[in-house]
């Protein structure tokens, strides 16, 4: 069974469209049981009522206060189990979430498939200590989605399916990790795939040695052929892939790197860091002429980046400090610094490039949260064109064209006031947001010339509404700097 979420985005001048898709193949019904099937509407099983059939709801929510002897499948909605509910079979939600109140019992397993968590399987038996089994709610799901996993510093997880204008289809079906089930201090990780648009293999092989002691410092060596982009903060890879596939829009600029890196990583509860010596051969992507899009076939993808080929050696690293595993909603701060210093390059002058991010969450009142992200980009030396900072477009400043401003310095701020579902007395949240940013060349003015930065900044404001499970969100934004532009986007993630 395949569930596809396809959103539409409208823009007065240049549309921004993102899409998302998850799939799951549930097991065939067992025992020849018949089914109660409902389309496009909510379905209720009242307290004291018993359903001896499988229950399937498509395009609606299911509320269970009674007993279900069969399995439950909900597509495009949530399954809510009241305290008196008893489910003897498996529960499957696709594009939704299982909400299990205290007292509800589930004999089978719970399977959730949604855009943030992929496919999540949990057994619902009572815990050995007598506590309730797994619960799924807004806060738990958000916390899981927002965790900063230190393992991704060395060997980042890759989506199995990636689709963009540079690589075409990139399939990475082989993803292995060997470490004796987590018991060894040595770890070998391998991701192996194929770029159909470029006709070549791609992937990464990493060797790691950890030293334990709680904070687990790590020495590592990685060899790879992968794409690289400075636009990862704009949009998650899954949304970008589906935007390319459905709407012929790619929100990342990227180039190919082949080589190795060796270094050290470190992580504990509130800090993680990585530093590496890198030696890579960089190449531009050749234009892919047979890209397929299901809609908006009249649009033309941006051309690949103009990138000088050659070897580049550098020292690169990242350090992040803050509440890395924060509870939502809560007050917290995260500061992250990404940097790279080029030591030598065949066709580039040496340069340094740094990006500082500051994330601040403030729980203004119960179920009212202010979220902010501030980004500052700085460089030294001659920053090549493909590494310049860009402001404007999705994930940057709303209601403006993609990278309408570029330069070797950058400042941008995103902030939103979120009224969470409990505050709204419903299953949705409301967001009021503002975006502002400026990219310029250092010869024009300094990072401390706030007057000039403000005078030249792009800005926008808008309102968003989304569901409690963060599976979709509609934004309506308007430019605030004289451009008569409205923008409507339909997202499957938060804006930042």
Q: Which residue has the higher pLDDT, 64 or 152?
A: 64
User: Residue 334 falls within a domain, yes or no?
Assistant: no
Closest alpha carbon to 313 in 283, 264, 280, 338: 280
> In this structure, are 109 and 193 located in the same domain?
no
User: Are both 58 and 119 inside the same structural domain?
Assistant: yes
397-453 pLDDT, tens digit per residue, is 999 999 999 999 999 999 999 998 888 777 889 999 999 999 999 999 999 999 999
pLDDT tens, residue by residue, 212-270: 655 578 999 999 999 999 999 999 999 999 899 888 999 999 999 999 999 999 887 78
pLDDT on residue 166 = 96
In a domain, 469, yes or no: yes
Instruction: Give residue 392's pLDDT.
Output: 96
Mean model confidence pLDDT for the chain: 83
Half-sphere exposure of 387 (CA within 13 A, CB side): 23
Do residues 162 and 122 both lie within one domain? no
For residue 336, give the nearest of 360, 361, 358 by alpha carbon.
358
Cβ contacts of residue 408 below 8 Å, gap of 6+?
379, 383, 388, 389, 441, 442
Note the pLDDT of residue 456: 95
Kindly state whether residues 159 and 293 are assigned to the same domain.
Answer: yes
Q: Is it the case that residue 53 has pLDDT exceeding 80?
A: yes
Q: Contact at 8 Å (CB) between 406 and 388?
A: yes
Strand order across the beta sheet in which 43-45 lies: 43-45, 62-64, 79-81, 98-100
Same domain, 52 and 201: no
What is the average per-residue pLDDT within 466-491? 88
243 shares its domain with 302: yes
201 in any annotated domain: yes
The DSSP bridge pattern shows strands 389-391 and 405-407 to be antiparallel
Q: Which of residues 278, 293, 325 is at a domain's end?
A: 325
Asked if the structure places residue 330 within a domain, the reply is: no
Our measurement of the distance from residue 421's CA atom to the centroid of its chain's CA atoms, rounded to an integer in Å, reads: 21
- Asked if residue 159 has pLDDT above 60, the reply is yes
**338 part of a folded domain:** no
In a domain, 114, yes or no: yes
Q: In the prediction, which pLDDT does 264 show?
A: 95
Say yes or no: 161 and 71 in one domain.
no
Domain count, the chain: 3
| Lowest mean per-residue pLDDT among 12-16, 235-239, 390-394, 491-495 | 12-16
Same domain, 302 and 239: yes
Q: Are 241 and 163 in contact (CB under 8 A)?
A: yes
Whether residue 296 is found in the same domain as residue 163: yes
Of 22-31, 163-172, 273-282, 371-380, the one with minimum mean pLDDT is 22-31
**Residue 324: what pLDDT?**
52
> Sorting pLDDT into bands at 50, 70 and 90, what band is 28?
very low
Which residue, of 291, 325, 359, is where some domain finishes? 325
> For 128-137, 325-334, 358-367, which range has the lowest pLDDT when averaged over its residues?
128-137
Predicted confidence (pLDDT) at residue 325 exceeds the cutoff of 60: no
Q: Quote the domain boundaries for residue 114.
A: 2-7+21-96+98-136
| Residue 344 within any structural domain of the chain | no
- Between CA 358 and CA 153 the distance in angstroms is 19
Asked if the model's pLDDT at residue 96 lies above 80, the reply is no
Q: Are 97 and 80 in contact (CB under 8 A)?
A: no
- CA atoms within a 13 Å half-sphere pointing along the CA-CB vector of 4: 9
Residues 312 and 387 both lie in one domain: no
Q: What pLDDT does 21 receive?
A: 29
Burial of 232 (0-12, 13-18, 19+ CB in 10 A): middle
Question: In this structure, are 223 and 366 located in the same domain?
Answer: no
Cα–Cα separations (whole angstroms), residue 120 to 60, 111, 140, 151, 253: 21, 6, 13, 19, 31
In a domain, 339, yes or no: no
- The 10s digit of each residue's pLDDT in 61-82 is 899 999 999 888 887 788 999 9
Domain-terminating residue out of 325, 357, 388:
325
Cβ count near 173 (within 10 Å): 10
Query: How would residue 480 be classed by pLDDT, with cut points 50, 70 and 90?
Result: very high
Highest mean pLDDT among 102-111, 136-145, 427-436: 427-436
Sequence-separated (6 or more) residues with CB below 8 Å from residue 469: 78, 96, 97, 114, 138, 141
Integer angstrom CA distances of residue 21 from 60, 144, 160, 371, 382: 18, 19, 13, 26, 41
What percentage of residues in the chain have a pLDDT greater than 90?
52
Number of CB atoms found within 10 A of residue 34's CB: 10
**How does pLDDT run across 161-202, given as a tens digit for each residue?**
999 999 999 999 999 999 887 788 899 999 999 999 999 999
The answer to whether residues 115 and 194 belong to one domain is no
């Amino acid at each position: 069974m395949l569930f596809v979420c396809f959103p539409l985005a409208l823009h007065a001048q240049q549309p921004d469209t993102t899409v998302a898709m998850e799939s799951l193949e549930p097991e065939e019904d067992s025992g020849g049981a018949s089914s109660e099937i409902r389309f496009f509407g909510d379905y209720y099983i009242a307290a004291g009522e018993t359903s001896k059939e499988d229950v399937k709801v498509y395009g609606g929510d299911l509320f269970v206060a009674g007993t279900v002897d069969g399995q439950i499948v909900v597509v495009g909605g949530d399954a809510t189990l009241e305290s008196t509910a008893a489910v003897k079979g498996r529960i499957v939600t696709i594009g939704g979430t299982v909400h299990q109140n205290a007292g509800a019992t589930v004999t089978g397993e719970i399977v959730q498939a949604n855009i943030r968590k992929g496919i999540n399987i949990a057994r619902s038996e009572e815990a050995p200590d007598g506590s309730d089994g797994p619960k799924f709610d807004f806060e738990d799901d958000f916390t899981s989605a927002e965790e900063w996993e230190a393992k991704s510093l060395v060997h980042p997880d890759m989506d199995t399916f990636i689709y963009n204008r540079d690589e075409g289809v990139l399939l990475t079906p082989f993803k292995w990790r060997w470490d004796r089930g987590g018991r060894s201090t040595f770890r070998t990780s391998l991701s192996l795939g194929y770029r159909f648009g470029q006709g070549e293999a791609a992937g990464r092989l990493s060797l790691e040695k950890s030293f334990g002691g709680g904070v687990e410092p790590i020495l590592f060596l990685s060899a790879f052929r992968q794409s690289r982009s400075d636009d990862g903060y704009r949009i998650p890879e899954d949304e970008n892939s589906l935007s390319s596939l459905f709407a012929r829009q790619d929100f990342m600029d990227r180039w190919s790197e082949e080589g190795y890196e060796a270094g050290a990583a470190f992580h504990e509860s509130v800090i993680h860091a990585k530093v590496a010596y890198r030696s890579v051969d960089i190449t531009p992507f050749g234009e892919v002429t047979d890209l397929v899009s299901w809609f908006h076939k009249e649009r033309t993808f941006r051309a690949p980046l103009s990138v000088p080929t050659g070897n580049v050696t550098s020292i690169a690293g990242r350090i992040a400090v803050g509440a890395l595993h924060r509870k939502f909603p809560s007050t917290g701060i995260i500061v992250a610094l990404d940097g790279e210093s080029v030591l030598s390059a065949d066709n580039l002058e040496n340069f340094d490039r740094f990006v500082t991010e500051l994330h601040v969450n403030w729980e203004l009142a119960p179920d009212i949260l202010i979220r902010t992200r501030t980004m500052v980009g700085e460089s030294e030396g001659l920053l090549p064109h493909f590494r310049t900072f860009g402001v404007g477009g999705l994930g940057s400043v709303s209601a403006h064209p993609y990278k309408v401003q570029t330069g070797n310095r950058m400042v941008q701020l995103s902030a939103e006031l979120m009224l969470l579902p409990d505050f709204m007395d419903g299953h949705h949240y409301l967001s009021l947001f503002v975006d502002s940013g400026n990219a310029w060349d250092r010869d024009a003015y300094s990072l401390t010339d706030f007057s000039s930065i403000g005078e030249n900044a792009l800005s926008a404001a808008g309102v968003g509404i989304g569901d409690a499970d963060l599976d979709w969100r509609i934004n309506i934004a308007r430019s605030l700097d004289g451009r008569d532009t409205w923008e409507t986007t339909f997202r499957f993630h938060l804006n930042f």
